[in-house]
Chains A and B, each alone.
Chain A
Amino acid sequence: MSYSKFTSNKMKIQLKIIGYLIYHAEFSEKELEISGPITAGKLLSMINIKKQLPRIILRNGKGIGSREELEDGDRIVISPLFSGG
């Protein structure tokens, strides 16, 4: 998936989707080359994970909000909020 048509500031994001959200995004892991600046929330909407779906966003292992801007080389993990036994 490439979003290079939007702007010119290209960056690479490692994206991992977890749990049932993979059936919304229709993939579970890939490297995206996208144009920045971009927030985590915007990235989610680009991959069809709607705001109504409770989710956790991790950047390099730490929780972040959807308004945070992503940086080149980030590993972003998106998982459902509710899970576990």
Chain B
Amino acid sequence: MKGWTGGILRINLSSKTSKKETFNKEFAKKWVGGRGFAIKILWDELKPGVEPLGPQNKLIVALGPIAGIPAPNTGKTVVAAKSPLTGGYGDGNLGSRVTDNLRKAGYDLLIVEGKADTPVYTSIEDDKVEFLPAQEIWGKGSYETMDWLYGKHGRGAGILTIGQAGENKVLFSIIRSMKGRAGGRPGMGAVMGSKNLKAIVVKGTKKIPVAEPEAIKELGIGDLRKVKEIDKKTGWSRQGTTGILAWCNEVAALPVRNMRKTSHEDAWNIDGERLDAARVATYGCPNCTMRCGITILDKEGHKVEMDYENIGMLGSNLEIFDLAQVGSLNYLCDEYGLDTISSGAVLAFYADAIDQGAIEGDFTFGDAEKAKDLLRMIAYREGIGDLLAQGTMRMAEKIGKGSDAYAMHVKGLEISAYNCKFIPGMALAFATSSIGAHHKESWIITYEINETARGSYGKEKVEKVIELQRIRGGLFEFIVSCRFPWIELGWDLDNYAIYFNTITGLDWGLNDFWKVSDRIYALIRAFWAREFPDWDRARDYPPRIWFDPSNADREGIIAGRVLEYDKYDQMLDHYYQLRAWDKRGIPKKQTMEELGLSEEAQELEDYVKLE
């Protein structure tokens, strides 16, 4: 089968056994890869209600046809499982040498089942699978763990690992790779930890089957050079993603003080210009020629890679405007294996709840040293850290006193670094993201501010949200490739159809991709509804405080403005209509059938009545 290895490696940690399975072309064309493979496997193999941190949950590592092929930014790996943070479908992607190594070992999919009785890591070298003791690295941070594994397996090995946070099942712990990379925000690290699995090490030596190997080599390598030239010409990677911080501050979209404020006069201290000036090194993912891993020295002198989301959430959202201190918080999250976005949101929510008198504590906005202590306490679940380790949704449930209004999450996943108290389209994008609030799927904010009336709730915004979900949450997540050449440098989307067809020998256009995207979105939503049979549209709402007039900015360009319930609700209606989902936000039976999901619709009807 050209374009796919057709291989699935299933490993069981309870029995320490592995089995090679195969998938056929029909499966490949229906789900393509990455997130598509992940949701299909989790839908088929997980019983509803399964404990996310129990041995019955499964960790999926999934690749797609473009992954690992030398072409622009193909170094990404998707990790997925039922999320312990949200209770729904969870996934993430991260740059890793696992991408090419796993495919060269002969697999597009790795399914990890069961639970080891003692800490282990697994080594996959082509057909050889070993379960090796991890006592020496259990309890260690991700940097030391990776050095230890590189020492044993060589620098060329692909490694996925967790830090102490994953071991201690912090609900927003992530999976780490290549020292600077992280993915799996909805607690994928905790799923690994719950299985006593410290790391996955992969080395592959085979060839990835490709329809036109010479053509893709010439095209892919040529395009890597072209992307590099565009980057050089524009200067994008001078600031990478952090160029947006100053813009968010200008347009009143910056997260400040648990998103109560939208800009700050000191924000320039942590912007892209300052980051570029502090740079000591630059790192990137495999097959990338526009590297965004801008590395600085933190307050303690550690090298740390920074990006916008990290600085927004651990910097301005905590009112910490010292770049080296923000770097320290970022470093600690990386070392412990904590998600930086959720960590920033959790700390800000804690400070806010103390401010509001909902809980007692000695943490205040701007206190970087205390924030460092708290991150350690979260990672080890010490003292108050045990509460914070559960994320904002559960914290609010336990704290009570109306604190859920300003717990900044959707479906349990914390909102990333865009403050949407008066940006309706981006609020909808967060609220309908398929894993909970995440910007990776439909980032419409610059379109919305630049090309539409900010206060409008018009259909054009809803259409744009879905268009971007198809591209960003669909295409890039199932062919498995980084979206940055397209979003940051304007690299044409048609290029991805060309790569796909050259690799697979198929003749697909972009519309074929959108059908797969819609199928994946429908099945992910079906997964959520199967887990939560009382599903309704309230779960597709952003936090109440964004609608609260008393939370409106008092001055500036959006003074007095917040989101409006009625208009947001109409917008949501339109979203469901365009997706052909019902008013609860569940795909209709006919919609599922038209997307080739008849069997899944039948299964779903055992739990939820479908329209």
**Does A11 have its Cβ within 8 Å of any Cβ on chain B?**
no
Contact of B273 (CB < 8 Å), options: A22, A62, A82: A22
**Does B251 have its Cβ within 8 Å of any Cβ on chain A?**
yes
Interface of B (DSSP majority class):
helix
Residue of B nearest to A24 (CB): B235
**Does B488 have its Cβ within 8 Å of any Cβ on chain A?**
yes
Nearest CB in chain A: distance from B323 CB, A: 16
Chain A residues with a Cβ closer than 8 Å to the other chain, count? 24
Residue of B nearest to A56 (CB): B450
> Is the CB–CB distance between B489 and A18 below 8 Å?
no
> Is the CB–CB distance between B250 and A61 below 8 Å?
yes
Interface of A (DSSP majority class):
mixed
Known: A60-B557, A83-B244. A18 touches B250 (CB 8 A): yes
A79 to B244, CA, bound (A): 8
Residue of B nearest to A80 (CB): B243
Residue of B nearest to A16 (CB): B250
> Is the CB–CB distance between A84 and B445 below 8 Å?
yes
Q: Which residues of B contact A80 (CB under 8 A)?
A: 234, 236, 243
Nearest CB in chain A: distance from B249 CB, A: 9
Q: Which residues of B contact A22 (CB under 8 A)?
A: 273
How many interface contacts (CB-CB < 8 Å) are there between A and B? 91
A23 to B236, CA, bound (A): 10
Residue in A18, A20, A60, A85 with the greatest tally of chain B CB atoms within 10 Å: A85
**Contact residues, B413-461 vs A (CB, 8 A):** 416-417, 439-440, 443, 445-446, 449-451, 454
**Does A32 have its Cβ within 8 Å of any Cβ on chain B?**
no
**Does A81 have its Cβ within 8 Å of any Cβ on chain B?**
yes
> Is the CB–CB distance between A77 and B247 below 8 Å?
yes
> Is the CB–CB distance between B557 and A28 below 8 Å?
no
Contact of B439 (CB < 8 Å), options: A56, A58, A84: A84
> Is the CB–CB distance between B243 and A85 below 8 Å?
no
**Does B113 have its Cβ within 8 Å of any Cβ on chain A?**
no
How would residues 66 to 80 of chain A score, 1 for a CB under 8 Å from any chain B CB and 0 otherwise?
Answer: 000000000001011
Contact of A58 (CB < 8 Å), options: B239, B251, B488, B489: B251
**Does A37 have its Cβ within 8 Å of any Cβ on chain B?**
no
22 A-B pairs, CB-CB below 8 angstroms? A18-B247, A19-B244, A19-B272, A23-B238, A28-B273, A56-B247, A58-B251, A63-B449, A63-B451, A77-B250, A79-B247, A79-B250, A83-B241, A83-B243, A84-B241, A84-B244, A84-B443, A84-B445, A84-B487, A85-B308, A85-B309, A85-B440
Other than the given A81-B450, A81-B490, 17 more pairs (CB < 8 A) read: A16-B250, A18-B246, A19-B243, A23-B238, A58-B450, A61-B558, A63-B451, A79-B243, A79-B244, A79-B247, A82-B236, A84-B241, A84-B244, A84-B308, A84-B443, A85-B416, A85-B439
